[in-house]
Chain A
Amino acid sequence: MATPAWALASEAQAALPEANKPWWFWPVVLLFFCFILGIIAVLAGVGGGVLYVPLVSGFFPFHLDFVRGAGLLVALAGALAAGPGLLRRNLANLRLALPVALIASVCAIAGAFLGLALPTNVVQICLGATIVFIAILLAASKNVERPQVKAQDAVGRALGMNGVYYEESTREVVEWKTHRTLPGLILFILIGIMAGMFGLGAGWANVPVLNLLMGAPLKVAVGTSKFLLSITDTSAAWVYLNKGCVIPLMAIPSIVGLMLGSFVGVRILAVAKPKVIRYLVIGVLLFSGIKALLKGLGIG
């Protein structure tokens, strides 16, 4: 086993200057990098995966296959850690999440296979285009705190997609129900495929669909979206794991760094100016999206 690997290693050593670094160099850099990323992600209100995949694939020596595998684990760990608090406070709702999750997770499995079957440069181009689109979406979308849903549609009613939560800031008990449920569920086909294909958590897409299209209050949309990621990303993460796309030496510092960063980020959130951070993240996403596009086109 070691002999062909070492023969290749010797060849690669001459070609790749970063391969001359000791084995611990990149995991240590990754741990600190992901710690900072975790802080920024919380302040900007985005999941870690959406920043992790384009930035780590753009600036670290790992192949995109392993970055996507680790990206899914990062998004999964973050979603699983946030899930209990959201479920207990009824901000993540099983009645809303389960039907959506079924569609998104089955499509995420298909997306994962698609992403691993396509040539790397094609995935890189699609990833770049998606990241640029996410940046534009973040800049342009205006979420609605409590959308007006006059009447629930038949699909939403049949699935019991309604609920109640307690709004602590105003001390109100808020009732909600969905409308335009079928178009919403159809959009989750696309969201699931993209989550699996690129190894991204898809919170950036879940929230507008749940909030703006289906009419869930913003807090329920954000909470359910985060919980949803724990289901969608599980299905795709298993595909990447089974395909051998997880290298523990780089995946675990990524997960731990991002989670530690998220804890610090939550504390900083109280004193930070999230709007400035948000524009910073939009800028970083645009930059990394264009970099991924150029890399895929063989220019960068």
Chain B
Amino acid sequence: MVTRDSAKASPEQLLYADLLFYGCWASILIMMVTYVIYVAGLMGPHIPLNQLPHLWHLPVGEFMEKSGAPHGWGWVPLLGKGDYLNFLGIALLGAMTIIGFITLIPAYVRQKDTAFLVIVFVEVAALLLAASGIFGAGAH
């Protein structure tokens, strides 16, 4: 017998939902605050603001060469600069799915759901590899 109770989301799905909710809004808030700090000039940028309109029409490889912009995780040492401070919120946005998947592991272990456990592990590994920048740093 299918009841309305059976239509409720599983506990692991609810946990994932809560995590996304707080993580997503935290990252949007961080982005807005760091952007104001950046454009208000409260922290000096790595690439001067008035140079960007002359550079952003270039392909990424040329843009990086001309502007001295870093690739990969090279933005971390530049967090003291107004422009790269913005990467905090962007990176948190990109990390939410990885964190969400990790929270699913205990539930699938308890349920002895090997297929989904493997899917979660492979997905986390793929996302971590993409995030690590191990594949092909640099640009065309």
Q: Which residues of A contact B (CB under 8 A)?
A: 1-2, 4-6, 8-10, 12-13, 16, 18-19, 21-27, 61-63, 65-66, 73, 76-77, 80-81, 83-85, 87-90, 93-95, 98-99, 101-102, 105-106, 109, 113, 116-117, 120, 158-160, 164-166, 173-175, 230-231, 234-239, 241-253, 255-256, 259
Q: Which of A25, A66, A98, A245 contacts B116 (CB 8 A)?
A: A98
Q: Which of B84, B122, B127 contacts A238 (CB 8 A)?
A: B127
In the complex, which of the residues B4, B64, B89, B139 has the most CB atoms of chain A within 10 Å of its own CB atom?
Answer: B139
Determine the residue in chain A with the shortest Cβ distance to B3: A173
Asked whether A230 lies within 8 Å of B20 as measured between CB atoms, the reply is yes
In the complex, which of the residues A25, A106, A236 has the most CB atoms of chain B within 10 Å of its own CB atom?
Answer: A106
Interface of B, secondary structure class, is helix
Q: Which of A22, A27, A120 contacts B59 (CB 8 A)?
A: A120
Q: Which 4 A-B pairs have the closest CB atoms?
A: A9-B54, A1-B68, A248-B86, A242-B133
CB of B42 closer than 8 Å to a CB of A:
no
CB of B80 closer than 8 Å to a CB of A:
no
Take A173-B4, A251-B90 as given contacts and tell me if A256 and B9 are in contact as well, using a CB distance cutoff of 8 Å. Answer: no
Take A105-B123, A244-B71 as given contacts and tell me if A87 and B58 are in contact as well, using a CB distance cutoff of 8 Å. Answer: no
Residues of B within 8 A of A12 (CB): 54-55, 57
Asked whether A105 lies within 8 Å of B2 as measured between CB atoms, the reply is no
Q: For the complex, what is the distance from the CA of A136 to the CA of B84, rounded to whole Å?
A: 40
CB of B106 closer than 8 Å to a CB of A:
no
Asked whether A256 lies within 8 Å of B28 as measured between CB atoms, the reply is yes
Asked whether A22 lies within 8 Å of B50 as measured between CB atoms, the reply is yes
Q: Mark B37-62, 1 if CB is under 8 A from A, else 0.
A: 01100000011111111111111100
Q: Mark B57-78, 1 if CB is under 8 A from A, else 0.
A: 1111001101111111100000
Asked whether B135 lies within 8 Å of A84 as measured between CB atoms, the reply is no
Q: For the complex, what is the distance from the CA of A3 to the CA of B24, rounded to whole Å?
A: 38
Asked whether B94 lies within 8 Å of A5 as measured between CB atoms, the reply is no
* 11 A-B pairs (CB sep. < 8 Å): A1-B68, A5-B68, A9-B51, A62-B57, A65-B63, A83-B17, A234-B127, A235-B127, A247-B56, A248-B83, A259-B28
Determine the residue in chain B with the shortest Cβ distance to A20: B53
**Docked complex: B125-140 residues within 8 A CB-CB of A:** 126-127, 129-131, 133, 135-140
Determine the residue in chain A with the shortest Cβ distance to B96: A80
**Docked complex: B97-140 residues within 8 A CB-CB of A:** 97-98, 104, 115-116, 119-120, 122-123, 126-127, 129-131, 133, 135-140
Residues of A within 8 A of B96 (CB): 80, 230, 234
Residues of A within 8 A of B28 (CB): 77, 81, 255-256, 259
**Docked complex: B11-29 residues within 8 A CB-CB of A:** 12-14, 16-18, 20-21, 23-25, 27-28
Asked whether B31 lies within 8 Å of A80 as measured between CB atoms, the reply is no
Residues of A within 8 A of B91 (CB): 241
Q: Which of B56, B115, B131 contacts A250 (CB 8 A)?
A: B56
Q: For the complex, what is the distance from the CA of A93 to the CA of B116, rounded to whole Å?
A: 13
Q: For the complex, what is the distance from the CA of A259 to the CA of B73, rounded to whole Å?
A: 27
Asked whether A87 lies within 8 Å of B20 as measured between CB atoms, the reply is yes
Take A80-B24, A84-B17, A166-B4 as given contacts and tell me if A65 and B60 are in contact as well, using a CB distance cutoff of 8 Å. Answer: yes
Residues of B within 8 A of A26 (CB): 53
Determine the residue in chain A with the shortest Cβ distance to B64: A244
Q: Which of B20, B122, B140 contacts A80 (CB 8 A)?
A: B20
Would you give the shortest CB distance from A231 to chain B, in whole angstroms? 5
Asked whether B50 lies within 8 Å of A109 as measured between CB atoms, the reply is no
